[in-house]
Amino acid sequence: MGTAYDSAVATDAAFHVGLYARKPVMFVRGAGMRLYDDDGREYLDFVSGIGAVNLGHAHPAVASAIAVQAATLVHVTNLYHVEHRSELAEELVRLAGGGMKAFFGNSGAEATEGAIKLARRWGKLHRGEQCVRIVTAERSFHGRTLAALAATGQASKQEAFEPLPTGFTHVPLNDLESLEAELDETVCAVMLEPIQGEGGVYPCEPDYLAGVRELCDERGILLVLDEVQTGFWRTGRSCFAHQAYGVKPDIMTLAKAMANGLPIGAVLASDDVASAFGPGDHGSTFAGGPVVCAAALATISELQKADAGGNAAIVGEYLRQGLDEIGERTGAIAEIRGRGLMVAAHLKRPVADRVCATALERGIVVNNIGPEILRFLPPLICGTEEADVLLSMLDELLAEDGDGE
């Protein structure tokens, strides 16, 4: 690594809180699926900012939209109308199938907070003051603010910050009986990821999600779907993962890929549920500003022009088939999960850290969830040629750790 990297490491250690175990690389430029470090070395990116850069790095249409708006107007607060905000809300509602309204935040965690507040407000108004509890799934991840963390079904992420806000119950994913047992008069909402991202890329089974929708309808409970990681064609031809299930939520949370890497989040709610909020019930200084909304509109437009969802479906299937073949040859893979270009390889041995480190040395950026799960979230412009580079490397590395011939 060059002197820029060395300087960044030293300055980071001196002045930045040590919240991240950063990898030994400093990226200074990106183009499409490729990243470049301070020495000019090229890398293939199969992380895309944890699924945030669906169009690939430095997309010219997004860069132009940002530059034009930044030179025109950056911020005036939500007390006033600005360009692009209402247009973006309209486009999101169209993509969701209509009959909804949107409000904006700055991240997935803020979207979760907004959804929690809206669900509780609706519950109190329609079912009584006791109706504030939200049921989520074990292994789920909904964000790192205190309420979002309380909603998250991972004790390892919660223990250091207890006591957490109350009003959240976690049940096993894809277990309709366990969920139904919790749905009493205190429950205002069920909140699920159609595919659990940070939990290890575990999809909801189709019958389960349909059953959850049915139970919520029977009991007068809201269904909240967290599409922060799965949204914007990440999982295939449907813009949002739930659409492939044929299930519509009452509330949906979005973020990550909406503006191709710029910080923006959103909550979409059915017209009836959205009416539970009035002026002053929620807000944000920066949310829905003209720059990020311009970037989001450009991003969504370009993703549609490129048929990013169709490509995600085709290349995702190609990647999963390739991983399956590697598993057959090496005996190193226990299970392959995911939809579209949201894929996990669950290894039989705890070597995911080592595989990721070696991949980085070889110019391929991948990440892992714990010691046994490799996760692949490339930009949706990823082709089979790039997938072949990844598969060839994994075939070699996993052969060293498998139990096959």
Q: How far apart are CA 393 and CA 73, in angstroms?
A: 46
For 334-362, how does the pLDDT look when each residue is reduced to its tens digit (9 = 90+)? 999 999 999 999 999 999 999 999 999 99
Q: Above 60 in pLDDT, residue 164? A: yes
Q: What does the pLDDT read at residue 391?
A: 98
Res 405: pLDDT: 43
Q: How many helices (H) and strands (E) does the chain have?
A: 15, 17
CB of 147 closer than 8 Å to CB of 160 = no
In the structure, what pLDDT confidence band is assigned to residue 27 with cuts at 50, 70 and 90?
Answer: very high
pLDDT in the model for residue 402: 58
pLDDT of residue 310: 98
CA torsion, points 120, 121, 124, 126, in degrees to nearest 10? -110
* Token pair belonging to 396: 């070699």
Per residue in 242-259, pLDDT (tens digit) is: 999 999 999 999 999 999
pLDDT for residue 380: 98
Q: Of 384, 381, 228, nearest to 302 (Cα)?
A: 381
Res 4: pLDDT:
87
pLDDT per residue as tens digits for the range 216-242 = 999 999 999 999 999 999 999 999 999
Q: What class does CATH assign to 62-305? A: alpha beta
Side-chain half-sphere CA neighbours of 1 within 13 A? 16
Place 141 in a pLDDT band, splitting at 50, 70 and 90.
Answer: very high
- Assess contact for 111 and 256: CB atoms under 8 A: no
Task: Decide if pLDDT at 36 tops 60.
Answer: yes
Domain coordinates of the chain in residue numbers? 62-305, 307-377
DSSP 32: B
> What whole-number percentage of the chain has pLDDT above 70?
98
The pLDDT of residue 3 is 82
Asked whether the predicted pLDDT for residue 1 surpasses 80, the reply is: no
Output the pLDDT for position 403: 56
Site of tokens 């009035």 = 278
* Mean predicted confidence (pLDDT) in 138-162: 96
Where in 22-112 does DSSP place strands (E)? 27-31, 34-37, 42-45, 100-105
Which residues belong to the active site?
141, 226, 256
For 78-115, write each residue's pLDDT tens digit.
999 999 999 999 999 999 999 999 999 999 999 999 99
* Structure tokens, 202: 């575990």
What homologous superfamily is domain 307-377 in, according to CATH?
A: Aspartate Aminotransferase, domain 1 (3.90.1150.10)
Query: Using one digit for the tens of pLDDT, what is the confidence trace for 279-321?
Result: 999 999 999 999 999 999 999 999 999 999 999 999 999 999 9
Instruction: Please state, rounded to an integer, the average pLDDT across all residues of the chain.
Output: 96
Instruction: Tell me the C-alpha distance between 203 and 217, whole Å.
Output: 22
Rounded mean pLDDT, 187-213: 98
Task: Supply the pTM of this predicted model.
Answer: 0.96
